[in-house]
Structure 1
Amino acid sequence: MTLNRLVAHLALLGLAAHTGGTLAQEAGAKLERVEITGSSIKRLADEGALPLEVITADDVRQKGLTSAEDVLRSLSVNAANANNAVSSNSVFGQEGDRLAGGGAYANLRGLGPTGTLVLLNGRRLSNQGTSGGSVDLNAIPLEAIDRIEVLKDGASAVYGTDAIGGVINFILKREYRGVQASATYSTPLDWGGGQQRKVNLTAGWGDLTANGFNVLGSITHSSNVILRGVDRPWALGYQPERGLAPDTSSSPFFANILGQANSALPTAGTTVGATDPTKYTVLNALALNRQCAAVPFGVSQLANATVLSGLGYNAANSTYRCGTDYGRQFMLTPPSQTTSGVVRANFAVGKDATAFVEFIGSRYYSLGEFTPFQFSTSSLPQNATVNGKTYPVGANYPVGGPYYVNMKALYGANQFDPTKSIAYRLRMWDWGYRTLGNESINDRLTAGIEGSFGSYDYRVSLARGQAKGYQEMVDGYADANKLVDLLASGVYNPFLMPGQTQTPEAMAAVEATKVHGRLASGKTRVDQFLANVSGPLMKLPAGDLSFAVGTDLRREFYGYSGTRNYGCVSTFTPANLQATNPVMGCPGNGTAPDSTRKVGAVYGELLIPALRNLEFSLALRYDHYQEIGSTTNPKIGFKFTPNKDLLLRGSYNTGFRAPTPQQLHLATVLLATTGTFPDPVKCPNPTGNNDPSCQLNSIPYLSGGNPDLKPEKSHQGSLGVVFSPARDVTASVDYWQIKMIDRIHNLTPTQELQNYSVFADNFLRDENGNLVGIRAGWINAGGSMTKGVDFTANWVTTLDGNRLTTTLSATKMISAKEQLIDTTPMIQYLGQWTNTTLYLPWKAALSATYKMPVLTTTLSANYSSGYQDEDHTTATNVVEFQRRKVSPYLTFNLVGTFTGVKDLTLGVGVLNLFNRQPPFTWHNVDNAVGTGWDPRVADPRGRTVTFTASYKFL
């Protein structure tokens, strides 16, 4: 094969990945032959017009990475985002999070999972079964992976319109002979959970060259143990000296007694004692005795009047109120079980063709564990009639009940009226943690043929992939009608003091209210036919003009049941109690009806050798989306090599991302806000204000799909240089920018509150002007502009006769501006806290691998720069608690692999070598996961030891 044809193949590497990865394999083999020559210019020739990062299976093993999510989190090009297994297993975040089912997703350039194309052997997997938006990384069988290719550039003209942020192609091993078993175990050295276990068995038979066939199979099972906030001393939600206090109005033991009309504590509050003139609107016996912290997870809220004064906390409602440290209760790593497998058979078909059949499958099950739900009894009016039953005191604690507390007699609450029922707010500690089970099943069957005729290569394949998912209530959820009956009966004691427990009768009644069952399920499917031919078109003075043409035909299906059998409610209103099977606190979602859409595409690419040292690549792709419309996206790139140690490259392209079926068709659902916020109209000055409108919580809001969504469009480009400053050293610098139009965004109540003047019409009010609801959901936002620079370096040298390889990959974000809608200004989010993606100024990975005859050692480092913490200027009037910077996060891993015994490989490693704690952030858990730390940046396990062993039997 001529060098010109090799270069053409390198330039068409993306097309190869898109149609099965065969060309990439062939190009890889040729690249290895070129590298053996030791010529610097031939090494530079390995670099194409687009920046490509390759991670081999050895790299993954030597860095101590155990999952596809681990690999993606280590990449500098992958943004620090809320698409990891901890953050997406959430009931606090956006609607999309609640549909994600504990999955993990890629997010190149911070454009979101739907802007990153994830491929397996160059073909699409079906998107996660419940979200339907993008591929769950848990579906990737990492143990069967040969390498991972990350294209750090838009590729809509080559791979598909949704490849805006880039492409991640996981390439499986093509052939294997023998039998190999391996096991991995890791455990944090600090006390608690977080252990990980993995076993794998891989077997293969046949030589494609000698026998005309090869069959390989690989199966892996892994399990992860939960790590909770109580397992780590730094996981505290109550650190008032640092500006962090829980924004919560409930206590896990003695309930907070609330002021309510016609209840024991009047709305105006009560004085306590003979000398204090303050009228307190919340009372708690634990707080009156300074015992909030004497019960599990209890904390005082005395500091809230200072730390969170801007949210309506003041002396009247904080001094005698207890709260819950939900940072201690929160799940730091989720428990999970994963089983994945691959079976692939290759058959020689004549001299120049290979047919294959390939099946991959995975099952992932995880538990999401969240703080116990909190409710207010005052949300059910007194004398309300529901389902033919009248509640004279609503859900309040009745006068004469065995656990009634006379706060006037016991604690000197002067205006407390012991002849009336008690309204209170309680966290459902006796019901346990809200626990959701999430299962995701993903499989794909592919058949195809790859070969050549003369100077031309062809590839044809047909694949069907499907994913199923469901979500179930495991613990912590209660039937709302049974719950209100229990509360009104007085059998349950909401006023426990330290050392006290519920009676067996009460606990039996609690268990009787619990609800277990499947909430919702979803299914996606993708059928894909790919065909491609490539080769030389004609000879030019500088070499062959090469081409590739192909087609990509898909049929995509999505359906989501929604919360069909239950009504998820957050309050005891008569309307909620009359809903079908109302469940207190479950994460309800609407239905997305079964929908199918066809996508057809044709594409072509030319590689034009204008001069011996100048090449141009041109690509054009036409896609037609049923229901959405058509789009044509071009791409142009160049590669200029003025001398053997210097290469210049650049590209320009456009992109187009159609809204997902979920974003278009998900039905509207009623949810509830978390945390506390002031009404921007009725409480414009919340600091020190005791008006109830300054401390709203659990306000209903509507969210769901939007059939009027338009596609996102992008214009992007890159310009870079690759150079060899010294022998055996190669480095690159690539500038890139991406401009987005009509970005699809899930508008949240928090964002609407922050821009109230823009979204005032979305706030629903009653005849008295009281806020009763908010409209939210998917919209086409304004534009965005993201810019940055990628740096890479590779140095290979000899040290004491052994090979030392050092690699660097870093991304410097220059700007990340977005606008909420067209009429709002662009806002700079670089280095600023957000509740979705963190656009960090720097993210970098550095590793050095020293390879001796029987021992290979890798020291690697991962760095994430600091950023401005959540803006608390509206949360508090204390200047030092308004703005601060989160510290950078730098960790080191040391992994060694020993191969001194035939067929046996042993490995040991220490991750987070210096036991670096996650940097402190004063964000609490509302609207984004993490209290006092951020799972988008940090690993909560601390110093962790890993052990691996593998043995090849045949």
Structure 2
Amino acid sequence: MNKIALKTSVIAVALTLASSQIVLAQDDSAKPIEKVVVTGSNIKRVETETATPVQVLRRVDIARLGVNSVREAINSLTSSSGDLSDIGGSNSFASGASSASLRNLGKQSTLVLLNSRRVAPYALADYNEVFTNLDALPFDAIDRIEVLRNGGSAIYGSDAVAGVINIITRSDYQGVTAGGSWDQSVANEQFKTRTAHLTAGFGDYSKDGYNVLANVELFKRDNVIWRDVLDDINPAYGQKFSGVAPGSGQMFGNRGVPSTYSYPGNLIGQGPVAGCGTLNAAGLCMYDRYAHFEAVPKAERVNALVSGTLDLGHGIEAYSELLYSKTSTTYSYAAGTYGSTLSDATWGDPRSNQGRTFGYRFLSPDSPFNTTGAPLELRYRYADAPVGNPNDSDQYRLLAGARGQLGGKWDWDTAAGVMGGASKTRINGSLSDSGFKALVGDYTKTLAGDPNCEANFPGYCQYTAADPNFFNHGYKLGQVNSAAVLRQLFPEQGYDGRITQYFVDGKISGEIGKIGERGIGLALGAELRHEKFKITPTANLASGDIVSYGDVSADASRSTEAAFAEVNLPVTKALELVGAARVDKFPGFQTHVSPKLAARWEVTPALLLRGTFEGGFRAPNLTESAQSTKFAFASGINDPKRCSKAQALATDLRGVANALAATDPNQALLLARADTVEGNECAQGVASIVRNNPNLKPETTRSATVGMVFEPLKGSTVSLDYWRIERKDEIRSKSTDDLLAAEADQPPGVINRAPLSQDKTFSPAEQAKYGVTAGPLLSTTGMFENVSRTKTSGLDLGGNARIDTRYGRLDLGLNATYLLDLKYFSATLNNYGDNLAGRYGYSKMVANLSANLQTGKVNNGLRLVYNSKTALNGDYYDDIYTQAGCASLKWSADECQVKAYERLDYNVSYTGIKNLTLSMYVRNLTNRRPPLDLREFNSGGGGIVPQNYADVEGRMVRVTAEYKFR
């Protein structure tokens, strides 16, 4: 079916059925025990404990978690490995959104469904990753969340590699309920979130033949600035990193004190620029960056859901659903800096497909700001620049369908719909390259080759601006600048994204025969889908004019088709076999078949054995296979052909400098140049240009589970499942380090270097002295390829028990995931790297233990959250945080790890007032800090505090109230 025909069909069906509203009716006289569809299957069944392991969070379970969003509910799963969050998403190409990830396999390998159907992805890709935004999904309308904890491609198609999260909303609801919640930190009230919701249901389906559900919810979170909570950071960090202890208003040496990159600026060796208000002990002007560093961004959301069911008679039911979401997340940050000794900034130019470099310069000896007669270091903060990163997104899904029965034996279901979204992100405060040259000065013109400069300051003239009026043109250093000047120097930039999908699907299921008295179940279905994805950067990004910013663009569409079948074969009364297969056709790729085999053996009424084997896949998305381009940059790159030579030059420069008198201005210049030389070649930024690849293959997986469910005591169940997933042909672009390691084997154009005549690190004489034959790196150019693999395995343990006590019913619950291994393939090794289980970021054991006691109108509950310890080092190449690396940092073996962490939560609810439910949830009841994480703190460099805001959030209290009017 072509694109126009598919759109026409979808719109026609949607308009025909949009006014209808529905749920599936059951003939109680014919079916005394209702059969239901469980996530991971298309066949209705009586048993909810299937061959495939599925974890279910009921509405009451979610309420006891004390969470206030879908993201928080998903993150409570022990199989969840977390991923992008709107809280920490300011450095993402898809900021303002949150994603899900299971089994450490990433956000593209976890499929998120709403009522068993897909929702449109977020309208901005995170570089090349396309995902579902959890923040756009309704929370209060949830009836339950079903989590398929192994692959589901045979049922659901692409992306269901690590598992499936199916969010099921309420149905056949009657009455009007209003409620709200207030979350706040006890220690620091700045951490604050409020929610409100209104849910209304009309019509009793069994009596009236219809039901309509309408839900709207509001979410608001305040932003938190680090300066307001800085003194509450774990004092152990101050003891380890030295400096001023908490409580003084200045934290840990260079990680809490104001910065010398300030406004109106500092002229190092001469003094502050006139007009400075705050000086440090050394007489330098200071800027409190921590008054602008953000721990938590501001967020506001509105989610609305309207769904309904209508009995059309003759066993046919119509249903429709409209989902709409509007989210807004605003990030704030400190103003940008300018420093003469900062390493050059490198980024990509989409027009030329080459890298660009912005150079920081010393002030000329002839500058009116300079009275030293030598090149002068400037440290400056653009405090007058506009700052802020607003992100706004709208998302929707409209579908309508019908379901019923044929001959009383076959259930059918078909639907059509349209869904999509639009996202807009804008960033303020970044330098325009053209604006800088026009308003500050042309940094490309230096004193390199100037006889007077070379005679007095050899080797340093190339870092000094030739223009004596640098910072004294249209933009005035440390003075009031007009709004027009600021707009030209700091223009707004960002992206607009839009995604649209149309679909038509249908399935039929029933019995095709019997084995004895046991029915053989069969399900057949098909799906047509058309999608269009467009990401448009602002003109200044597309032209490469914004310093240090990459560019992502995409404009593509495609239509896909799929057909699937599933058969349930009851071999004996106790043994059941399940087979399934799905055929997916994506344009440009061979037809892909995803098979599944599963077995369920009820050994005794108290013991069930089960196992699955499945093939899964992820089709290349439109940013990977269809027309798209990504311009980014890799930081901290070591150039194998130039770094060792730069280190030799730096050593010699430091030797010469140390032989000079401390009052000699050349000493500071030589020492600064030594640092710059090393930074340019051993920790540089290199532009990375990556394009789509129409010849990509789908990523494929093989996953297997084997486990058991048993009932040790009446009213209790315990499950234990082993799982293993192997993924190959992973779509990646080769890293800059991998390309440089095999530079001789790369075809022309992959690694781009400037000619030696444009070398800014080595002079011609130094090139000859140190044997420099390769020019400076500019950029790497590549495309997405099927170049990687991952394998992982582990154990899932679950348990539930209900015990009647003299005080009331006691519900016990346990969920735990033990990670046996996680290995990523390395192109450098041409083999897998180390087992990361127990390494940094990958706890071997994650567990939740809960106990809830229902006593009359009161429910009391406790929940223990546990994460096992991890080492600080990562894969084989990480030698900074090994035991030897920690020792060189003067960290003990005990400090070279993140210790195990346990957190105790408490919840209580009261229903003793008619129609009113009051609840309180205390997160981190004992107010325990997260364990010390020196790596997280150390990786922030000279000014970033730990990103784990839980360290200062402490105990959180959430109070909720919900009133049902009828």
Give the TM-score band, short-chain normalised: 0.7 to 0.9
Among 422, 425, 428, which residue is 1:468 paired with? 422
Shift of 1:722: 1.0
Structure 1 contact 869–885 (Cα < 8 Å) conserved: yes
* Distance in 1 (alpha carbons) for counterparts of 2:608 and 2:918: 41
Shift of 1:554: 1.3
Q: Which position in structure 1 is the counterpart of 2:12?
A: none
Q: Does 1:175 align with 2:172?
A: yes
Amino acid at match of 1:295: M
Shift of 1:924: 5.7
* Distance in 2 (alpha carbons) for counterparts of 1:296 and 1:160: 53
Structure 1 contact 380–395 (Cα < 8 Å) conserved: no
Q: Does 1:798 align with 2:789?
A: no
Shift of 1:379: 9.2
Amino acid at match of 2:69: S
Percent sequence identity over matched residues?
24
Among 363, 368, 393, which residue is 2:331 paired with? 368
* Distance in 2 (alpha carbons) for counterparts of 1:634 and 1:694: 54
467 and 161 in structure 1: CA distance in 2 versus 1, 3 angstrom threshold: same
Structure 1 contact 705–777 (Cα < 8 Å) conserved: yes
* Distance in 1 (alpha carbons) for counterparts of 2:947 and 2:843: 13
Map Cα deviations across residues 10-47 of structure 1 (whole Å, 9 max, x no partner).
68653449xxxxx5xxx6xx6xxxxxxxxxxxxxx531
* Distance in 1 (alpha carbons) for counterparts of 2:254 and 2:812: 45
Q: Does 1:54 align with 2:56?
A: yes
535 and 5 in structure 1: CA distance in 2 versus 1, 3 angstrom threshold: farther
Q: Which position in structure 2 is the counterpart of 1:154?
A: 151
Shift of 1:660: 0.9
Among 618, 622, 640, which residue is 1:680 paired with? 640
2 and 359 in structure 1: CA distance in 2 versus 1, 3 angstrom threshold: closer
RMSD across aligned positions (CA): 4.1
* Distance in 2 (alpha carbons) for counterparts of 1:630 and 1:478: 47
Amino acid at match of 1:101: S
Shift of 1:896: 1.2
Shift of 1:441: 1.2
* Distance in 2 (alpha carbons) for counterparts of 1:195 and 1:333: 10
Secondary structure of 1:891's partner?
Answer: strand
Secondary structure of 1:141's partner?
Answer: coil
Structure 1 contact 546–607 (Cα < 8 Å) conserved: yes
Give the unaligned 5+ runs of structure 2: 1-26, 243-251, 271-275, 345-358, 442-467, 652-673, 757-773
Q: Which position in structure 1 is the counterpart of 2:867?
A: 864
Structure 1 contact 702–777 (Cα < 8 Å) conserved: no
Q: Which position in structure 1 is the counterpart of 2:533?
A: 558
* Distance in 2 (alpha carbons) for counterparts of 1:255 and 1:86: 32
* Distance in 1 (alpha carbons) for counterparts of 2:847 and 2:730: 27
Shift of 1:516: 5.2
Q: Which position in structure 2 is the counterpart of 1:77?
A: 79
Map Cα deviations across residues 843-898 of structure 1 (whole Å, 9 max, x no partner).
12221111122111221122222322256635979524588212233222212111
Structure 2 contact 578–598 (Cα < 8 Å) conserved: yes
The 5 A counterparts of 1:784-933 are 784-821=790-827, 824-831=830-837, 838-870=841-873, 873-874=879-880, 879-880=888-889, 884-919=896-931, 920-923=933-936, 933=946
379 and 620 in structure 1: CA distance in 2 versus 1, 3 angstrom threshold: same
Q: Which moved more, 1:49-58 or 1:234-243?
A: 234-243
927 and 155 in structure 1: CA distance in 2 versus 1, 3 angstrom threshold: farther
Q: Does 1:702 align with 2:688?
A: yes
Among 111, 114, 128, which residue is 2:108 paired with? 114
Structure 1 contact 743–780 (Cα < 8 Å) conserved: yes
Secondary structure of 1:567's partner?
Answer: helix
* Distance in 1 (alpha carbons) for counterparts of 2:734 and 2:292: 28
Structure 1 contact 748–776 (Cα < 8 Å) conserved: no
Secondary structure of 1:111's partner?
Answer: coil
Q: Does 1:630 align with 2:609?
A: no
Q: Does 1:444 align with 2:457?
A: no
The 5 A counterparts of 1:510-529 are 511=486, 513=488, 515=490, 517=492, 519-529=494-504
Shift of 1:6: 10
Q: Which moved more, 1:663-672 or 1:356-365?
A: 663-672
Among 595, 616, 639, which residue is 2:577 paired with? 616
Secondary structure of 2:121's partner?
Answer: coil
* Distance in 2 (alpha carbons) for counterparts of 1:789 and 1:842: 9
* Distance in 2 (alpha carbons) for counterparts of 1:926 and 1:167: 34
Q: Which moved more, 1:149-158 or 1:840-849?
A: 840-849
Secondary structure of 2:363's partner?
Answer: coil
* Distance in 2 (alpha carbons) for counterparts of 1:923 and 1:113: 22
Q: Does 1:765 align with 2:767?
A: no
Shift of 1:549: 1.0
729 and 814 in structure 1: CA distance in 2 versus 1, 3 angstrom threshold: same
Q: Which position in structure 1 is the counterpart of 2:90?
A: 90
* Distance in 2 (alpha carbons) for counterparts of 1:217 and 1:680: 62
Shift of 1:750: 6.2
Map Cα deviations across residues 760-804 of structure 1 (whole Å, 9 max, x no partner).
985433333223334466432222211111110111112224111
* Distance in 1 (alpha carbons) for counterparts of 2:283 and 2:955: 33
The 5 A counterparts of 1:512-661 are 513=488, 515=490, 517=492, 519-541=494-516, 543-561=518-536, 563-567=537-541, 582-585=545-548, 587-593=549-555, 595-661=556-622
Q: Which position in structure 2 is the counterpart of 1:497?
A: none
TM-score by length of 1: 0.78
Q: Which position in structure 1 is the counterpart of 2:785?
A: 779
* Distance in 2 (alpha carbons) for counterparts of 1:758 and 1:287: 55
Structure 1 contact 470–518 (Cα < 8 Å) conserved: no
Structure 1 contact 538–544 (Cα < 8 Å) conserved: yes
TM-score by length of 2: 0.77
923 and 746 in structure 1: CA distance in 2 versus 1, 3 angstrom threshold: farther
673 and 254 in structure 1: CA distance in 2 versus 1, 3 angstrom threshold: farther
Q: Which position in structure 2 is the counterpart of 1:411?
A: none
Secondary structure of 1:114's partner?
Answer: helix
The 5 A counterparts of 1:478-489 are 478-488=431-441
Shift of 1:523: 1.2
* Distance in 1 (alpha carbons) for counterparts of 2:333 and 2:746: 31
Structure 1 contact 64–911 (Cα < 8 Å) conserved: yes
Q: Does 1:948 align with 2:966?
A: no
Amino acid at match of 2:63: R
* Distance in 2 (alpha carbons) for counterparts of 1:721 and 1:828: 30
The 5 A counterparts of 1:385-464 are 396-397=362-363, 399=365, 403-404=369-370, 406=371, 418-424=372-378, 426-431=380-385, 433=387, 435-453=388-406, 454-464=408-418
* Distance in 2 (alpha carbons) for counterparts of 1:240 and 1:751: 38
Amino acid at match of 1:135: T
Structure 1 contact 250–426 (Cα < 8 Å) conserved: no
| Matched length | 822
